[in-house]
Structure 1
């Protein structure tokens, strides 16, 4: 199991996105109230523009707003799910539906931002595949080149998602949707999203022809 504290974001981003496109852009004075980990993340985002292509959207510091007394700093692609922190304890993250009950995320803000960066990179990678109905018996060979990352976990997009990585692969694994009942999970199957640092790193997936990749 990979400890999230062992992930160096600068090294990770350089490996997956190449050399930074620019120097760190200084934060505006209006954004200096943000928690230090969030300031540092936006500093990284100013160097790697691909971070903005990852599906979930970080709110620009000048547009961070409140929901039920907490500051919304990230949303999913549709705006139907938010992540927040509070002024009294900015290291604690909450998630949920805008205007609804927000549940505490079992990750510190620092760990959360690493998690968000890994998932954003997975979603934005140039070489990736999606298997929305992967038989569970196929998972061992798919995940064998990687190690699980010990992230605390989110409830988005569904509870139970896990993250895996190696130097050349990233993957998220969660429950598959039951085609006959889209509001239920399909027993014995998983949804797998996997990205490779190049095309060749994904070729091992073609050995098992029972998995239908998109």
Structure 2
């Protein structure tokens, strides 16, 4: 297992998106109330013109404000799922479906930001392989070049997703759509999302007889 705290996020972003091509955004004192991990993430991401987060949406710092003790800092693309931090205890993160109660996340704010950045590497990769239903007995071959990251459990998009990575690969493994409503742990199919910025590192997947979307 890879400990999320051991991931050098700056190095990952550089490997994935190339060298910095924009000056670092200066955050004035008006943002000092925001949690340090969130300020540092935005300052880091500002150094690339290419969006680091494309599927989910990061709320611009100037638009973040507490409401009933919670400050929303990220949503999914449809804004139907929200993430917030506790204004009085910023290290505590919550998530909720729109119009539903907030529930505590299993990750700290710092880990959740790392998790989001790594997970979205697949969506932003130059090359990718997607398949909504892969036989479970093929999973070991798919993840063989990678190591699982010990991220906390997410409820979005559905529980049960796991992330694996290497220097050149990010692979998300989750319940297949046809089994997402099932509590059966023996589900025989899983959804696979694999991405790399080097086509050669995905070539082994094309030899497994899977009907990949590319």
TM-score higher than 0.5: yes
Alpha-carbon distance between aligned partners in 2 of 1:87 and 1:119, rounded to the nearest angstrom: 26
Choose 116-125 or 49-58, whichever is displaced more: 49-58
| 1:128-143 matched pairs, under 5 angstroms | 128-143=128-143
Give the match for residue 169 of structure 2: 169
Shift of residue 90 of structure 1?
0.3
Instruction: Tell me if structure 2 keeps the 8 A contact 1:175–1:185.
Output: no
Structure 1, unmatched stretches of 5+, are none
Shift of residue 197 of structure 1?
2.3
Instruction: Tell me if structure 2 keeps the 8 A contact 1:67–1:99.
Output: no
Alpha-carbon distance between aligned partners in 2 of 1:30 and 1:17, rounded to the nearest angstrom: 30
Give the match for residue 145 of structure 1: 145
Instruction: Tell me if structure 2 keeps the 8 A contact 1:54–1:122.
Output: no
Aligned residue-pair number? 211
Instruction: Tell me if structure 2 keeps the 8 A contact 1:26–1:43.
Output: yes
Give the match for residue 212 of structure 1: 211
CA pair 67-141 structure 1, distance change in 2 beyond 3 A = farther
Alpha-carbon distance between aligned partners in 2 of 1:182 and 1:154, rounded to the nearest angstrom: 14
1:84-128 Cα offsets, whole Å, 9 max, x none, are: 001111011111113311111111111111001111222111111
- Given the two structures, how large is their TM-score scaled by the length of structure 1? 0.93
Give the match for residue 159 of structure 2: 159
Shift of residue 54 of structure 1?
2.2
RMSD of aligned alpha carbons: 1.7
Give the match for residue 188 of structure 2: 188
Question: Is 1:73 aligned to residue 64 of structure 2?
Answer: no
Instruction: Tell me if structure 1 keeps the 8 A contact 2:52–2:117.
Output: no
Structure 2, unmatched stretches of 5+, are none
Instruction: Tell me if structure 2 keeps the 8 A contact 1:53–1:120.
Output: yes
Instruction: Tell me if structure 2 keeps the 8 A contact 1:172–1:194.
Output: yes
Instruction: Tell me if structure 1 keeps the 8 A contact 2:149–2:165.
Output: yes
- Given the two structures, how large is their TM-score scaled by the length of structure 2? 0.93
Give the match for residue 21 of structure 1: 21
CA pair 42-25 structure 1, distance change in 2 beyond 3 A = same
Question: Is 1:116 aligned to residue 116 of structure 2?
Answer: yes
| 1:12-51 matched pairs, under 5 angstroms | 12-51=12-51
- Large movers: runs of 4+ above 4 Å: 181-186
